[in-house]
Every structure is written in structure tokens, then in C-alpha cells.
Amino acid sequence: MSSTELNDILNTAKSNNQGIDVTGSLFYNGGWFLQVLEGPPATLNALYKKIEKDPRHKNSRILYNEPAKFRTFTRWSMNMTNLDDRQADKYAQLVEVIEAAKSDRKIGAASPAVTLLKIFKA
């Protein structure tokens, strides 16, 4: 996927999320996306249904869904980390999370989604 296409996805997500009180981050690696969404439960449910209907998405699934006491990505209506650039400061950890998510395995005793959140809370 080109940088232009990724930027288009990011800008659309930012624009859409600002109006519905959703924050989060999107991670891209070789055609795979992993996304964290934060916001009101009803809004997130509706947004995920919309995402599932988008023909560009295949094999989407929820890895982790739990109410949170606070948001992890409060500064971003949407952020994107392109791991293909290999410039992310947490590159190795993020690739491990995506690989674990692709193969339905845990990292230690934690799900990939929980591990991802811990990376950004550190």
C-alpha cells in the first residue's frame, strides 16, 4: 500500500472520528492493519459494523473489547504507525503484536491487544 493511500485512510479516519468522540491508533504492516478504537460503546459498535461492511476489509475481528477507565490515545482522533517504514521507536514490539494477532497467539499470558496497550502506557 502506498504512502498516499495510507495517508488518505488516516485523514478519513481523523475526520470521521472527530465528530463522534472516537480516539485511537492504526498500525500497518505489509497489508495487515491492527487498530485500537476508544470511545462510547454504542459508537464503537456502530463504527465496527461500518468497518466490517467496507469491502476493503477482510478477516476483521475484535481482539479485545473491554471498558476502560481512561483513554490511551487521548491526543489523537486517529494516529497511524506504518511499520513498513521501520522507523517506529517500538518497531520490534509492534511487529510482534501484529504477528501474534495474525496467528491467534498470546504474548506471554496477554492477548496481542492488551500487549499493544501496555506498550503505549509505558
Distance in angstroms (rounded) separating the CA atoms of residues 34 and 29? 9
Residue 84 located in a structural domain: yes
Which long-range contacts does 40-49 make (Cβ < 8 Å, 24+ apart)? 41/67, 47/20, 47/22
The pTM is what?
A: 0.74
Residue 92 grid coordinates? 520490534
What tens-digit pLDDT sequence spans the chain (122 residues)?
888 999 999 999 999 999 999 999 888 888 888 888 999 999 999 999 999 998 888 888 888 888 888 888 888 888 888 877 766 677 788 888 888 888 888 888 888 878 887 776 65
Residue 107 lies in a domain: no
- Residue 46 in domain: yes
| Ramachandran angles phi, psi of 67, nearest 5° | -60, 140
Whether 103 is in a domain gets the answer no
Q: Do the domain assignments include residue 33?
A: yes
Does residue 97 belong to any structural domain of this protein? Answer: no
CB 110 within 8 A of CB 118: yes
Number of domains observed in the structure of the chain: 1
In a domain, 116, yes or no: no
Which CATH number belongs to the domain containing residue 61 in this structure? 3.30.70.100
Q: Can you tell me the distance from the alpha carbon of 95 to that of 93, in angstroms, rounded to the nearest whole number? A: 6
Could you tell me the residue range of the domain that residue 84 belongs to? 3-88
